[in-house]
Structure 1
Amino acid sequence: MLMSSQASRYAHQLLDARANSRLLPLISKSEQLTVEDAYDIAHCIRNVRVAQGEQPIGRKIGFSVHKSWSRYGVTDDTRTTIWAPIFDTTVRFAEDNHGLQSLAGAMQPRIEPEIVFKLGKTPAPDATLDDMADCLEWMAHGFEIVACPFANWEFTVADSIAAFGLHGTLIIGEPHVLSYGTRHHLSQILASASVSLSCNTDTSSTLRAAGFCNDEMDSPLHALWHLHQLLQKQTQFRQLQAGEIITTGTWTDAYPVEPGQTWVTAFSGVTLPGLTVSFV
């Protein structure tokens, strides 16, 4: 188990690497880094960022779609959904579902199409899946731009938790307020939905992926419920609150992005517009 001074030291190393776009050696190469240790580092990072004026406005969930595990550079046998705070400095809305995003300073950036929720009510500690759905105010489509400070996108799950949950930027499309009926069928609706992901350049247009949930247990709503359950055990962190924005994990592999590319999505099975984001 890491001492608090060690967690603080790693937190400042990660923050410095992020600020200076510098790769780091894996923490797990020099420490017996557990998932609990990694969340202690993440908590230190959060406190530093808040002290510097950033405001946590929600969470990102990672590794929630089980079929994507083998496509990441995860080098250990841990199989667990992770989370990290997101901040007012890392989240923005795309006007008319079109956005322009600079990649300056981003370390090995990749793109992930996700479903984003906003909580309209604070869930009770013992909230069920249906209770979680009833707490939702709106749903939107988003692109999370993930970034990795470790070479070749290879890391343990604990390393990824410590390294900001790999969160870089969240670009959110038009929010759709959820009706009572939609909220209470949302798990089934999302389990039957799919998204296509395409990459366009000046010279080509390529369909890169089609993503979907395996079943209701792999759905964004279940990922939200799992996060809520996990936070009941992590008393150093604030529990989910009304007003938080939660992005629930990628529906496809995470694809490398470069300046000059425009990435486009389209949904079927759910009433959400696609997103178009160009990178410079």
Structure 2
Amino acid sequence: MNDQTVAGAAHLLLDAEQRASAVEPITDTWSGLDLDTAYRVQEETLARRIMRRETVTGIKLGLTSRAKQVRMGIDTPLTAWLTDAMAHGAGEPVPTHTLIHPRVEPEIVFVLGERLAGPGVTAARALGAVRSVHAGLEIIDSRFRDFRFRLPDVVADNASSGLVVTGSTGIAPADLDLALEACVLEVDGEIVHTATGAAVQGDPAQALALAANTLGARGIPLEPGWLVFTGGMTDAVPIAPGSHVVATFTTLGTLVLGAA
């Protein structure tokens, strides 16, 4: 894929997002799309977001569970970008008409207190850069029709970014056990999933270290104040107008979300 093709892929994905209209996977047309080029498409979509005055607020990780990695044939999580346009207030209805096929998943969220730059970052070093830990919900929204895609499609599509909700209660990382922090996810009064932080690379701090090292290899540091959504603790659950979502964490509090 040359620069013109990368630009075309970025335009296709951002246009689908803005119109809330699904498209066919990029790899249907560009079968040679590999992960390195997919990240080029992701960077191009970020550049275009910044041009329309969005501000980078952090990163998100995708495919952090070992089971999901095996299914997709990889051995490390994906990284993608968060901007201020993706932030959604807790308790505010999710505008499903602006999304294609939204799904929700609970996450453990870090707020960085200092710069973190790989390579060579350990989980302990990564956790030392964290200012506070929060409950989070991510509403993912693939741009691809019928949620059909290959791994490079997901990377190019900014790891199915949609909206993110960050809990207001922040706790120092030393005051909780991240691997044992549990979450119960309820949709419309029914418990649909339970999990602990161990579902995220064994420990969310490991996911943060992997993100720092992966981005560090591309010369990108994680900056103070950035949010890091460490990846879904459970499978993502579809939501529709009228859905009522409650995520109850052991220590990090409860997040409630409705869909309109």
Is the contact made by 1:62 and 1:250 (CA closer than 8 Å) also made in structure 2? yes
The counterpart of 1:190, out of the listed 178, 186, 197, is: 178
**Cα separation, partners in 2 of 1:57 and 1:171, compared to 1, 3 Å:** same
Is the contact made by 1:93 and 1:174 (CA closer than 8 Å) also made in structure 2? no
One-letter code aligned to 1:231: L
TM-score normalised by L of structure 1: 0.86
For 1:274 and 1:116, the matched residues in 2 are separated by 13
**Cα separation, partners in 2 of 1:38 and 1:172, compared to 1, 3 Å:** same
Alignment length, in residue pairs? 258
- Structure 1: gaps (5+ residues): none
- TM superposition shift of 1:47: 0.7
For 1:19 and 1:217, the matched residues in 2 are separated by 33
The counterpart of 1:84, out of the listed 80, 85, 109, is: 80
SS at match of 1:85: strand
Equivalent residue, structure 2, for 1:218: 202
For 1:165 and 1:59, the matched residues in 2 are separated by 10
Deviates more, 1:81-90 or 1:24-33: 24-33
Equivalent residue, structure 1, for 2:21: 22
Is the contact made by 2:104 and 2:139 (CA closer than 8 Å) also made in structure 1? yes
Q: Describe the superposition over 1:169-199 as per-residue Cα deviations: whole angstroms up to 9, x where unpaired.
A: 00111231416x43xxx6xx12122211111
Q: Describe the superposition over 1:20-46 as per-residue Cα deviations: whole angstroms up to 9, x where unpaired.
A: 112111111222111101000011111
The counterpart of 1:139, out of the listed 114, 133, 143, is: 133
Equivalent residue, structure 2, for 1:209: 193
Moved over 6 A (4+): none
- TM superposition shift of 1:131: 1.2
Q: Describe the superposition over 1:196-221 as per-residue Cα deviations: whole angstroms up to 9, x where unpaired.
A: 11112xxxx21111122447842211
Q: What are the equivalent positions in structure 2 for 1:52-91 lying under 5 Å apart? A: 52-69=52-69, 77-91=73-87
For 2:221 and 2:27, the matched residues in 1 are separated by 28
SS at match of 1:252: coil
For 2:179 and 2:234, the matched residues in 1 are separated by 14
Equivalent residue, structure 1, for 2:255: 275
Equivalent residue, structure 1, for 2:170: 176
One-letter code aligned to 1:219: D
Equivalent residue, structure 2, for 1:43: 43
The counterpart of 2:225, out of the listed 243, 246, 250, is: 243
Is the contact made by 2:117 and 2:221 (CA closer than 8 Å) also made in structure 1? no
Please provide the CA RMSD for this pair. 1.8
Is the contact made by 2:200 and 2:207 (CA closer than 8 Å) also made in structure 1? no
For 1:217 and 1:246, the matched residues in 2 are separated by 14
For 2:33 and 2:74, the matched residues in 1 are separated by 12
**Cα separation, partners in 2 of 1:18 and 1:61, compared to 1, 3 Å:** same
Is the contact made by 2:242 and 2:258 (CA closer than 8 Å) also made in structure 1? yes
For 2:96 and 2:141, the matched residues in 1 are separated by 10
- TM superposition shift of 1:143: 0.7
Q: Describe the superposition over 1:55-113 as per-residue Cα deviations: whole angstroms up to 9, x where unpaired.
A: 1110111001223457xxx6x5344311111111111342xxx3322112201110010
One-letter code aligned to 1:272: L
Equivalent residue, structure 2, for 1:260: 242
For 1:115 and 1:215, the matched residues in 2 are separated by 11
For 1:104 and 1:119, the matched residues in 2 are separated by 33
State percent identity of aligned pairs. 24
Equivalent residue, structure 2, for 1:228: 212
For 2:138 and 2:200, the matched residues in 1 are separated by 22
SS at match of 1:101: coil
For 2:197 and 2:66, the matched residues in 1 are separated by 9
